[in-house]
Amino acid sequence: MSETIFTKIINREIPADIVYEDDVCLAFNDINPQAPVHFLVIPKKAIATINDITEDDRQVVGHLTLVAAKVAREMGIDQEGFRTVMNCNEFGGQSVYHIHLHVLGGKLLGWPPYTDKPKNLE
């Protein structure tokens, strides 16, 4: 797997607004926020997509959600609520091929997230 921009952030080769770090993961604010609060939680292990997660990654992937909740709590968005999203591949809207949990909050979010609603769902 080729190195992504997120590996460069982990290795401090490019800067990011880091909000949390431990041995397993890193959380930092999204460069292109889609809500008043929008940060990403990424594993330090480079896993390209959800399709590439293996049984060995159970702990790592579960840890991302625990950290999302912890940071959301610290940012004071836990009670009003927030959304976590992990995009997968092209139709899922994934642009960086190193899995990451988006955490979005700070206002009432719309649902569902279509840009163009498919005709069969109208």
Candidates 38, 63, 98, 100; catalytic one: 100
Name the one range near ligand DGP by CB under 6 A: 43-51, 52-60, 68-76, 86-94.
86-94
CA distance linking residue 99 with residue 114, whole number of Å: 21
**Which of 78, 79, 100, 74 lies closest to 88 in space, CA to CA?**
100
Nearer to ligand DGP, 72 or 122 (CB): 72
Question: What are the helix (H) ranges across the chain?
Answer: 5-10, 58-75, 89-92
Assigned token pair, 114: 């279509």
32 is an interface residue for ligand DGP by CB under 6 A? yes
For residue 102, indicate whether it is catalytic: no
Residue closer to ligand DGP by CB (options 32, 51) is 32
For residue 45, the Cα-to-chain-centroid distance in whole angstroms is 14
In the shown chain, the binding pattern of residues 87 to 116 toward ligand DGP, with x for contact by CB under 6 A and - for none, equals x-----xxxx--------------------
